[in-house]
Structure 1
Amino acid sequence: MHATWIVLGGIVALLIAGAAAEIPHADVTAHYWLGGDTAGVFTHRQMVSVENPSTIDGLAVSFNATYLPGMRPDFADIRFTDTNGTPLPYWIENTAAGSHARVWLALPANATAVTMLYGNPEARDAGDPDAVFLFFEDYERGDLSRWSSCGSSALVQSDVVRSGAYAGDINVTRPDLPEFNDRRVCTANISAGPIVIEGDFRVSEFGKWCGSGYIQAWNGTDRLYALHLRNGSVQHYDGDHRNFSADRRAENNTWYHIRVVLDTPNATEHAWMDGEYLGSAPLRFADGSPVPEDVIFDDLALIGSSAWYSGDPHHFYADNVVVRKYVPVEPVLSYGDGS
Structure 2
Amino acid sequence: WNYRTSHEIIGSLGAGENYQIEIVVHYGYGTHLGKDVYCKQQCQPDFDDIRFTDDDGHTLLDYWTESVYESDNATFWIEVKDDLDFDTTIHMYYGNTTVSSLSNGTATFIFFDDYENNNLDRWDETTGAGFSCATDQVVHGTYALKFQSTPGADIMKNLTETGEPLTHDFMVHSWVRDDNQIRGGHAPLVKSQSQFWVYACRGYNSQFSYLQDAANYVPWPQNSVGGSDEWFEINVGLSMSTDVMRAWKNEFYMGEIGLIAANGASVPDDLFQIGYGQQSSYVTWWDDTYVRKWIVNEPAHGAWDEISTVNWHHSCSDTTGFVYNDTWNMNWMAWD
From 202, 207, 211, the counterpart of 2:183: 211
- Does 1:326 find its partner at 2:294? yes
For residues 331 and 277 of structure 1, what CA distance do their matches in structure 2 show? 17
Structure 1 residues 70 and 228: CA distance shift in structure 2, 3 A:
closer
The separation in 1 between residues aligned to 2:275 and 2:190, in whole angstroms, is 6
Give how far 1:282 is off: 1.3
Q: Which of 55, 58, 80 is 1:83 aligned to?
A: 55
TM-score, with structure 2 as normaliser:
0.74
1:218 & 1:90 partners in 2: Cα distance?
28
With over 3 angstroms needed to count, the CA separation of the structure-2 counterparts of 1:57 and 1:232, relative to structure 1, is: same
> 3-state SS of the aligned residue for 1:303?
strand
1:95 alignment partner, SS class: strand
1:71-120 per-residue CA deviation (whole Å, 9 max, x = no partner) reads: 32222112222134322101222234444432211012245112223332
Q: Which residue in the other structure is 1:233 paired with?
A: 207
- Write out aligned runs for 1:189-338 (5 A): 189-191=158-160, 192=166, 193-205=168-180, 211-214=183-186, 215-220=188-193, 221-237=195-211, 238-241=213-216, 242-245=218-221, 248-284=224-260, 288-292=264-268, 295-306=269-280, 313-327=281-295, 328-332=297-301, 335-337=304-306
Gaps spanning 5+ residues in structure 1: where? 1-41, 177-183, 307-312
CA RMSD of aligned residues (A): 2.6
Shift of 1:124: 0.3
Map 1:1-339 → 2, pairs under 5 A:
42-52=1-11, 55-65=15-25, 66-68=38-40, 70-84=42-56, 85-108=58-81, 109-110=83-84, 112-151=88-127, 152-173=129-150, 175-176=151-152, 184-191=153-160, 192=166, 193-205=168-180, 211-214=183-186, 215-220=188-193, 221-237=195-211, 238-241=213-216, 242-245=218-221, 248-284=224-260, 288-292=264-268, 295-306=269-280, 313-327=281-295, 328-332=297-301, 335-337=304-306, 339=308
Q: Distance in 1 between matches of 2:139 and 2:215?
A: 31
| Aligned residues of 2:144 and 2:286 also touching (Cα < 8 A) | yes
Matched position secondary structure for 2:234 = strand
Seq. identity, %:
23
The 1:51/1:338 distance shift into structure 2, 3 A limit, reads farther
**Partner residue in 2 for 1:7:** none
Distance in 2 (CA, whole Å) between partners of 1:97 and 1:161 is 19
In the TM superposition, what is the alpha-carbon distance from 1:135 to its structure 2 partner? 1.9
Number of aligned pairs?
Answer: 279
The structure-2 alpha-carbon separation of the partners of 1:88 and 1:236, relative to structure 1 and needing over 3 Å to count, comes to: same
Deviation at 1:247, TM superposition (A): 8.0
Which amino acid is the alignment partner of residue 292 of structure 2?
Answer: R
Q: Is the 8 A contact 1:269 1:282 kept in 2?
A: yes
How far off is 1:245 after superposition? 4.1
Q: Check 1:334–1:288 CA distance in 2 against 1; reply closer, same or farther (3 A cut).
A: same
TM-score between both structures, scaled by the size of structure 1: 0.73
| 1:71/1:249 CA distance change after superposition, 3 Å | closer
Paired letter, 1:187: M
Give per-residue Cα distances to partners, 1:193-233, cap 9 Å, x unaligned.
Answer: 31112221122238xxx633122122202221111112323
